[in-house]
Amino acid sequence: MIDISVSNVMARGVETITGDETAAGVARRFAGEQIGSLVVVDPDSGTLTGIVTESDIIQQVATNGDMETVPVSTFMSAPVVTIESTEPIHAAADVMKRHSIRRLPVVDSGQLVGIVTTTNLTHYLPKLRNTILRERGTNQNR
Amino acid sequence: MIDISVSNVMARGVETITGDETAAGVARRFAGEQIGSLVVVDPDSGTLTGIVTESDIIQQVATNGDMETVPVSTFMSAPVVTIESTEPIHAAADVMKRHSIRRLPVVDSGQLVGIVTTTNLTHYLPKLRNTILRERGTNQNR
């Protein structure tokens, strides 16, 4: 059971936004909903076009961007690195490390089904340890 | 080897700041140094007084704080939750989950020695899996 899939740790009901929203609007949603990213979708097709994170907003502050007018589409990360829900969590961790990112939208057959973050994976760590210890105990009793 | 200690995964040489720095100054350091938090220390005693993260800056944007004047001391998180470097990583994960935080300054005998984040723990996950698989292989060969 060490190779559990992304579907077991991801958050479902991922929050989305359109590219014409402003940096200040994103900041208000981050603060209000206590989230650290929003997946950017095309309002007509629903296609995933990018992702905007806390770091992107910080970058706007650091470069004196006009928070109330600068649209998400100009500073979001695109294209988005994604993963399938059936992939094992260690693969998600590998992808995050390789791309230096902390959040991975989960896409199955072109459909956005969730998001997995370093926080989700960290919260799973103690459970993984318990599974291993239990397994060891079982082995010793054989 | 599943109970490796925080000292094995933490980042050393943690970046600090004083409480009189501004939100905009913090944002510029975050962007310039590609970091997501700064530990706030007293300039005279060197005592750890708080921590400021990306989320704190986002909160300032969301509430229309004056980024160029609002001092860190007014919006940092304090007191800071910390951990000792000899604690196992699953304990760090537990503390993060319980406090809903992503970064833990590492303090030994009152001295700031590093910082451990959900990113550090996530990057360790594939290595942990390999260790387990190797251990299983050894058991089977007995």
Please report which confidence band the pLDDT of residue A140 belongs to, taking 50, 70 and 90 as the band edges: low
Domain CATH number, residue B94 = 3.10.580.10
Residue-range definition of the domain harbouring residue B19: 6-140
Size of interface A-B (CB pairs under 8 A): 117
Cα separation, A50 vs B127, in Å, equals: 30
- Asked if residue B33 belongs to a domain, the reply is yes
- Asked if residue A62 belongs to a domain, the reply is yes
Contact A30 B58 (CB under 8 A): yes
Give the E-state strand segments of chain A in sequence order. 16-17, 37-41, 48-53, 103-108, 111-117
pLDDT at B8: 95
Residue B69 scores a pLDDT above 60: yes
The total number of structural domains in chain A stands at 1
Please report which confidence band the pLDDT of residue B1 belongs to, taking 50, 70 and 90 as the band edges: low
The burial of B32, by beta-carbon neighbours within 10 Å (0-12 exposed, 13-18 middle, 19 or more buried), is given as exposed
* Residues listed for chain A: 142
pLDDT at B140: 59
- Asked if residue B85 belongs to a domain, the reply is yes
pLDDT tens profile A101-116: 999 999 999 899 999 9
Which residue of B6, B66, B103, B119 is the best one to mutate when testing the A interface, meaning the one whose CB has the most A CBs within 10 A? B119
- Asked if residue B12 belongs to a domain, the reply is yes
What is the b/e burial string over A28-41, where b = at least 16 CB atoms within 10 angstroms of the residue's CB?
A: bbbbeeebbbbbbb
A4-8, A28-32, A134-138, B54-58: least confident range: A134-138
B79 lies within 8 A of chain A by CB: no
Residue type, B27: A
- Rg of the Cα atoms in chain B: 18
- Asked if residue B31 belongs to a domain, the reply is yes
Which residue of B77, B116, B122 is the best one to mutate when testing the A interface, meaning the one whose CB has the most A CBs within 10 A? B122
What is the DSSP secondary structure assignment for residue A13, as one 8-state letter?
S
Sign of the CA dihedral B60, B61, B65, B69? positive
- Asked if residue B1 belongs to a domain, the reply is no
- Asked if residue A129 belongs to a domain, the reply is yes
Report in angstroms the alpha-carbon separations of B115 from B26, B27, B37, B46, B103: 17, 19, 10, 16, 7
Please report which confidence band the pLDDT of residue A132 belongs to, taking 50, 70 and 90 as the band edges: confident
- Asked if residue A1 belongs to a domain, the reply is no
Cα separation, B93 vs A126, in Å, equals: 7
